[in-house]
Amino acid sequence: MMNKATHNDLRSRRSPEYELPLSERMRTFLRLEFLYQQYNYFIEINTDWSSRAAITSLLEMMAILSRGDIRSDVHKELDRHIGILTSYHSQPTVDPQRLEVMVENLTSRRDGLRAIGTNFIQPLRDNEFLSAIKHRSTIPGGTCEFDLPEFSHWLRQSHKRRRQDFIIWLEMIKTVCDAVIELLWLIRESTAPMEKSAVNGMYQHKMPPYSHDQLVRVTLPKESYLFPEISGNQHRFTVRFLEWCDINQRAIQTHDDISFKISIC
């Protein structure tokens, strides 16, 4: 169990949220969102260590965007949500003006994807500076000064100069990343959370046939000493609530009945 000091520390934070993607496409979107937010955070900090972290985030985003056709996946999701929202026009309880804004926004995202074409990532792949860093990054400590003197020289430039380069690189992937952020916001907001109880620390849920749900979100009270372990797929999933003590002990499933909120989006 956790001590009082740790509980007080938890109370100062927002309610913890945990997510499980129910498809490979959603896993990719969440990873891209994570790296995109990390990149945008680090490029604003004026240290060479932050710039190194931003470069790492950029290279990982490039790796994701180079696999398969992410642009096509995002385009299909935008089409699907535009179709869903458009069908709401006949619903009397829907705000038509707000609905129209949302449809126009998604349509604009879709048009932006069409405009960048299928080779939008190619300029980043062809960048010799980034390619050298990517090649050396596979080696532990491979981006040290003696391995990459040009990289070290770039890191010594002013933050303004480095940030200009970061913005140029960002513009090449921004259209896809912003569309992913928009889709994830829409998916998360599509379902209101439900109050549920996990008996003896475990909750199981079977999805209805032909379900199109893509994301499970679990929210706990911010003072909770537990965290959920969520596993499953588009057919069923299980939530186990675990008690965490410290990094030297394995978390164990609680035997208490736990109240929590869940959204199946």
pLDDT of residue 10: 37
Q: Which of 86, 66, 78 is nearest to 112 (CA)?
A: 78
CATH code at 24-189: 1.10.3900.10
Q: Cα(58)–Cα(134) distance, rounded to whole angstroms?
A: 10
Tell the residue number behind the tokens 């010594």, with chain if given.
Answer: 156
Question: How far are the Cα atoms of 58, 157, 224, 244, 256 from residue 164, in angstroms, in the given order?
Answer: 14, 11, 43, 43, 53
Question: How far are the Cα atoms of 54, 187, 194 from residue 29, in angstroms, in the given order?
Answer: 19, 11, 24
Backbone angles phi, psi at 261, to 5 degrees: -115, 145
pLDDT averaged per 10 residues, the chain (length 265): 38 72 94 97 96 97 91 94 88 85 94 94 96 93 92 96 97 97 94 93 91 91 90 92 88 93 94
Q: Cα(72)–Cα(180) distance, rounded to whole angstroms?
A: 12
Packing angle between helix 24-42 and helix 70-87, nearest 10 degrees? 100
Instruction: Please give the full DSSP string across 170-193, using - where no structure is assigned.
Output: HHHHHHHHHHHHHHHHHHHHTS--
pLDDT of residue 14: 64
Q: Helices (H) and strands (E) in the chain — how many of each? A: 9, 8
Q: Cα(168)–Cα(129) distance, rounded to whole angstroms?
A: 14
Collect all residues with Cβ–Cβ distance below 8 Å to 96 and sequence separation of at least 6.
Answer: 89
Q: Which amino acid is at 118?
A: T
Collect all residues with Cβ–Cβ distance below 8 Å to 207 and sequence separation of at least 6.
Answer: 213, 234, 235, 236, 237, 264
Q: Cα(217)–Cα(85) distance, rounded to whole angstroms?
A: 22
* Strand bridging mode 226-232 / 194-198: unpaired
> Containing H/E element for 204?
strand 202-206
- The domain 192-264 having CATH identifier 1.10.1060.10: the answer here is no
Domain ranges of the chain: 24-189, 192-264
